[in-house]
Amino acid sequence: MIESAAIIGLGLIGGSLARDLAAKGVRVFAGGRDEAAVRAAAEQGIARPLTWNEPVDVVVLAVPVVAARELLRELVGRMEGVRLITDVGSTKRSIVDAAEQMGIGDRFVGSHPLAGDHRSGWDASRTGLFEGARVYLSPTRSTEADALELARELWTMIGAVPEVMEAAEHDRRLAWASHLPQAASTALARALAEAGIARSDLGCGGRDVTRVAGSSPEMWADILADNADEVLPALDALELELRALRRAVASGDRDLLRQLLASGRNWHGEQP
């Protein structure tokens, strides 16, 4: 049972997690660089400032992927009584490896909740963010059953749906399912900026496609760099598909165009 949790980083994910855990009666302690957020969470009765003077069951590193590794290194000496150490990052190999190397692999489980949107920071955080959301759990080679159980409990408690996935498989899949769409959206945004087209010139469709281009550059630079070996083949595949479309447009071959568009629609799953 989780009675207390320390959440470091009160951004969209950490802040929302703090709100939901507090609402479930968990004693939440909050830390991180954003002192105003920590203060606001304290004033709203959501979390007390983290001092490490009280023991906690769970530590959640709710900071970008590179910062999470550094934080883990910084905190490893303070987390002796902690039963579960987890994170919320979009890549899993690097943090899982780091935990293993620091000798805390037995108590570490990487988490990646598929929740949130392009906004960031405490002001964007809210209750119910994880309701129905998938959360990938990536154990280390030495994660103990108790830690994995606590990780399941942590996320299930606030309505998320855990799915255990080995870190390498997670990073491969997410390169396609999340990192590639982000790259596509950013590339499109940059092309439109260059062409002098404003986002307000777009219809609903164009706005959908470019929405995540508004995501945090700091967070995404870390993710794309951290998962580079998996992201590169995905980028190459997208380029090939764009070229196939380009050839069909250039040739004026409507049948081929229809075929390419239809296969996209079939994948999407809303055939007529």
* Positions 59 through 118 that interact with a copy of itself (CB under 8 A): 114-118
Q: Is residue 225 a contact point for a copy of itself (CB under 8 A)?
A: yes
For residue 214, state whether it binds a copy of itself (rule: CB under 8 A): yes
The yes or no reply on residue 186 touching a copy of itself (CB under 8 A) is yes
**Residue choice 54, 74, 146, 239 for contact with a copy of itself (CB under 8 A):** 239
Question: Where do runs of H (alpha helix) occur along the chain?
Answer: 12-23, 35-43, 65-75, 93-101, 145-156, 167-174, 180-194, 204-210, 217-226, 228-251, 254-268
- Our finding on whether 145 is near a copy of itself (CB under 8 A) is no
CA distances to 31, 47, 59, 125 from 44, rounded to whole Å, are 15, 8, 21, 13
36 counts as binding a copy of itself under rule CB under 8 A: no
Give the binding-site size for a copy of itself (rule: CB under 8 A). Answer: 91
Q: Does 224 bind a copy of itself (CB under 8 A)?
A: yes
Does 269 contact a copy of itself by CB under 8 A? yes
Contact 145, 66 (CB under 8 A): no
Q: Does 128 sit near a copy of itself (CB under 8 A)?
A: no
CB of 54 to a copy of itself, least distance (A): 33
Q: Which span sits near a copy of itself by CB under 8 A: 14-22, 81-89, 147-155, 192-200? A: 192-200
Q: Is 215 in the site for a copy of itself (CB under 8 A)?
A: yes
- Give the residue from 4, 62, 2, 75 showing the smallest Cα distance to 33: 62
Nearer to a copy of itself, 36 or 240 (CB): 240
Q: Does 168 bind a copy of itself (CB under 8 A)?
A: no
Residues in the chain: 272
CA–CA gap between residue 190 and residue 37 (Å, rounded): 32
Q: How far is the CB of 121 from a copy of itself (least distance, A)?
A: 7
Binding of residue 164 to a copy of itself (CB under 8 A): no
CB 37 within 8 A of CB 10: yes
Q: Which of 97, 89, 98 is nearest to 223 (CA)?
A: 89
Residue 92, CB-side half-sphere exposure with 13 Å CA sphere? 27
Helix or strand or coil: residue 173?
Answer: helix
Chain residues 241-260 in contact with a copy of itself, contact rule CB under 8 A: 241-246, 248-250, 252-255, 257-260
* Closest CB to a copy of itself among residues 5, 165: 165
Distance of closest approach, residue 163 Cβ to a copy of itself, in angstroms: 10
- Residue pair 158/125 in contact (Cβ under 8 Å)? The answer is no
- Which range, of 35-43, 51-59, 148-156, 238-246, touches a copy of itself by CB under 8 A? 238-246
